[in-house]
Amino acid sequence: MQTSPAAVATLDSLVLLIEAALAGLTPSKLVLGYSGGLDSELMACALSHYAKKHPGTQCLLVHVHHGLSPNADTWARHCEHRAARYELEFVLEKVRVKQGARLSLEAEARSARYAALMAHLAEGDVLLTAHHQDDQLETVLLALARGLGPKGLAAMGQQQSLDDGAFQVRPFLGLSREYLEDAASALDLSHIEDESNQDTRFDRNFLRAEIIPRLKSRWGAIGATASRSAELCAQTQMLLDDEVSERLTPLISRCPLSHAFRLALGPVAASSRAWQAQLVRGFLEVAGLPPPSKIQLDEALSQLFAAKADAAVSLRFGRTRLRRYQGWLYAETESDNASHSLSGSTKTSATKTSATQTSATQTPFRQTPVTQQMLAEGIATPLGKLQLLPTDAENEGQDAHYWQARVPLGALIGDLTLVYGLPGSTKAWPVGRGKQRELKKLWQEFDVPPWLRISIPMLCCDEALVAAAGVWVEKTALEKSSQQESEDWLTIRLLRI
């Protein structure tokens, strides 16, 4: 590495970029994703200079060995040697990249790489990457090719939040590839050349080799102008996100039984079609579910808002399941093993049936003998852990994570069973109701979605219903009380998943 005044000046300018990119952050640890290519080599060199100016900050170089190239071991040795020259801590991470006919090697390698890098980050730490202006142009072009909107066209930000309170920072994002090449030359840096970068079967390599040079020959500043467009899209998306969040917050709640996210559809239906799309997308993001494609979303909106008010609409795309019931849109990830999962095509699909026609009788009746001891230890149910506790051990009140109710000990003396899938014609008498009602009516009155009814643990004693756990206690169960002050009472609790 050169130590001439010009080289030192170059290093100083790069350190200033790192310091500016970290503005507002106070990391105790910086982790550089260090491939050994030109961009990350220059960043590693600059980070060495930064570490001397900021001795209180831990600086770590992490090289991810993907095992995909015959030169991978040579690259790892290069990076370890250079890290020693830079007097920076070095870690080699070997990963296994998934490969298959339907898998993108680029995407799988990136996923494995970031997982390895994230393992070195804690809250407040910063992941440094050497993305530059040409990388940003590639990202914008790929977003255009995929038909993405402002969020996709916003591409990469200089500072972005990661999981667990860490951040990703890209100090070189405003620099062109040509600038970085000149800087590396001025510093006399050696770097590796990844032969896979010449393989134009990969989209980014194709853009880098075939498209971007032609664009630059016609519009020399296209890297800078595309970056400016990305920044404008990011600003637009930020304003849109703020407005969506303000509108969505009062409309989103959790299902009392499954704790799945749900969206109040009345105000959404009253909005324009464009806002319906934004709100549903925002809702899915809050729920932690992947967004549908534009075609899938358009079809979903048509079915959600065109169906009759009493129709139960069910939609599925990928592993995401959306269901409409009594003015709510419920969102969850489809589970193959869940007792209330519905089979269907992986394509967007919908079913419309009267809510009263969808009942627990669609799934076979099941019952399991249990004991008070088993309940005291806790029994796993589709909706969570069912427990029987001494009343003095219960929590005060209730919260979003559990339901509980008291019953006299006399209501639980006998043969206990947990029952699922009771016929809708079964009569029950919840506490506070004036008379017995059929289950199919009570499920509707208690706003229990049809697909969850078969998952509700019905606790019975001598074949008499004691409680629909998570929903109600039977009036007849409370009538087993002796009305004596010394009488023992127990608490039935359903700790939700």
Residue 40 annotated as binding site:
yes
Residue 36 annotated as binding site:
yes
Question: Rounded distance, CA 291 to CA 6, Å?
Answer: 49
Residue 342 annotated as binding site:
no
Radius of gyration over every alpha carbon of the chain, rounded to an integer in angstroms: 30
CA distances to 7, 139, 303, 356 from 36, in Å? 20, 21, 52, 64
- Contact assessment for residue 23 and residue 107, using Cβ atoms and an 8 Å cutoff: no
Only one residue has tokens 């998570």, namely 470
Distance in Å from the first CA to the final CA of the chain: 57
For residue 274, give the nearest of 312, 308, 252, 243 by alpha carbon.
243
Number of other residues whose CB lies within 10 A of the CB of residue 482? 11
Beta bridge partners of 350: 315
Question: Rounded distance, CA 335 to CA 408, Å?
Answer: 37
Residue 35 annotated as binding site:
yes
Q: Phi, psi at residue 422, to the nearest 5°?
A: -60, 140
Residue 39 annotated as binding site:
yes
CA distances to 441, 457, 460, 469 from 466, in Å? 18, 11, 5, 9
Question: Rounded distance, CA 238 to CA 232, Å?
Answer: 10
Strand spans (E) along 200-290: 252-254, 261-264
The secondary structure of 324-387 as a DSSP string is: EETTEEEEEE--TT-TT-----SS-EEEEEEGGG--GGGS--EEEEE-HHHHHH-EEETTEEEE
Q: Please work out, in degrees rounded to the nearest 5, the angle formed at the alpha carbon of residue 455 by the alpha carbons of 454 and 459.
A: 95
Residue 434 annotated as binding site:
no
Residue numbers in the known binding site for ATP are: 35-40
Residue numbers in the known binding site are: 35-40
